[in-house]
Amino acid sequence: MLKFNQVVRQRIGNMMMQYLLIDTSKPVVVTFAPGCEAIDEKALDESKPLWGFNLLTEHKINTISFVHIGENNYYQCRDFDAFIEMLGAELSRFPHRVGYGVSRGGFATSLYANHLRLDRALLLMPLSTYDNNIAPWDPKVQQATRISSLATTNRDASICTTPLTVIYDPLYRPDRLHIERYSCVVCRLKLAGVGHRIPRALQDMKILKKLVLDYIDNKLDTRSFPELIRERRMLSYYYRNLLSNPTQKITAKRRFILYSHRLRVQLANMEGEPERVARRMKQSLYKRKYLFECCHNQLQQVIAERQLLLSAAMVFCL
């Protein structure tokens, strides 16, 4: 099934896969993209690499990357389930199998880890389930329940038995509760104060790439992690999250200190602020454009169906 020494893009149900396999004597890494990296039908034939693909292949790592097609897609598809079963058997030829996923991708990584026969996986702020009966405390799960009808009943990733290393914000209650549902977590790296922005914070501190590559090489120094993330004090959203009082224990004095530090950080980074604002606006407009196109397509489908019913009714009346 798998091809070697060539970049392959393949659609499986409502998922997209891109892979490059070079050497069966070396480990293979399987990645699952977060929800914000969804692609639409128009982008299927584009040459843009899937999430995580370039990061790994540039370092000559055997890589298989998955992304979901459509924003309201939660890696749930019967065709994809069957494919994962077959892929797991194919991956047994590699000496070591590593998973990597973020948020929704963390859910998919842990959901399919057993079938893929992963030896270990790195998850950033993973969701353990999209079942609202299990996790009614997570707004993302509630939203998924409202806007999506999942194609399978396989919605609980806490079945995972693969040893997991997780990075999350313990002050952000939904993410903390998801982590507590896993029984196979062997290492918890805590990045407090950034909420559900772990990849962004690590990227802003310029340590995301090193952490991922060190983990894949089995050289991640977890003892130095607290020192590595000290730079979060230079992130304005770090103070914004703390000022939201996630523990409900913030005092007036502490609030004043946080405001003072945030102001200092904002003044120190004033030069690059217009660029950051422009980037965020561009990302926001892209998401709104995607939602508009989805709504437009759904509206056109409804209009077409009603016209068809009206035509049928007129024929019947005649």
Q: Give tens-digit pLDDT for 235-278.
A: 888 778 777 767 677 777 767 666 566 666 666 766 655 665 56
| Residue with tokens 């999209």, as numbered in its chain | 130
The answer as to whether 308 is a domain residue is no
pLDDT reported for residue 94? 96
pLDDT reported for residue 257? 65
How far separated are the first and last CA of the chain, in Å rounded? 56
Domain encompassing residue 194: 8-231
| Residue with tokens 């000496």, as numbered in its chain | 95
The answer as to whether 278 is a domain residue is no
pLDDT reported for residue 266? 66
The answer as to whether 72 is a domain residue is yes
- CATH number reported for the structural domain that contains residue 23 in this entry: 3.40.50.1820
The answer as to whether 280 is a domain residue is no
H runs (alpha helix) in 94-138: 104-116
H runs (alpha helix) in the chain: 53-57, 78-90, 104-116, 139-147, 173-181, 198-204, 208-216, 225-228, 236-243, 252-268, 273-317
Per-residue burial over 51-76, b if 16 or more Cβ lie within 10 Å, else e, is bbbebbbeeebbbbbbbbbebebbbb
Q: Which two tokens stand for residue 281?
A: 């606006």
Q: How far apart are CA 143 and CA 158, in angstroms?
A: 20
Q: Which two tokens stand for residue 79?
A: 């065709």
The answer as to whether 316 is a domain residue is no
pLDDT reported for residue 113? 97
* Strand-by-strand arrangement of the 15-20 sheet: 8-12, 15-20, 62-68, 28-32, 97-102, 120-124, 164-168, 185-190
The answer as to whether 274 is a domain residue is no
pLDDT reported for residue 47? 78
Which residues is 121 bridged to in the sheet? 99, 164
Determine how many CB atoms are found less than 10 A away from the CB of residue 98.
Answer: 24
Which residues is 8 bridged to in the sheet? 19
The answer as to whether 237 is a domain residue is no
pLDDT reported for residue 107? 97
Spans of the chain below 70 pLDDT: 148-154, 245, 247, 254, 256-267, 269-318
pLDDT reported for residue 106? 97
CA distances in angstroms from 217 to 96, 163, 212, listed in the order given? 11, 16, 9
pLDDT reported for residue 145? 81
pLDDT reported for residue 284? 58
- Residue 120: which of 12, 217, 244 has the closest Cα? 217
Q: How far apart are CA 132 and CA 74, in angstroms?
A: 13
The answer as to whether 111 is a domain residue is yes
What is the total count of domains within the chain? 1
Residues in the chain, how many? 318
Angle, vertex CA 307, rays to CA 301 and CA 311, nearest 5: 145
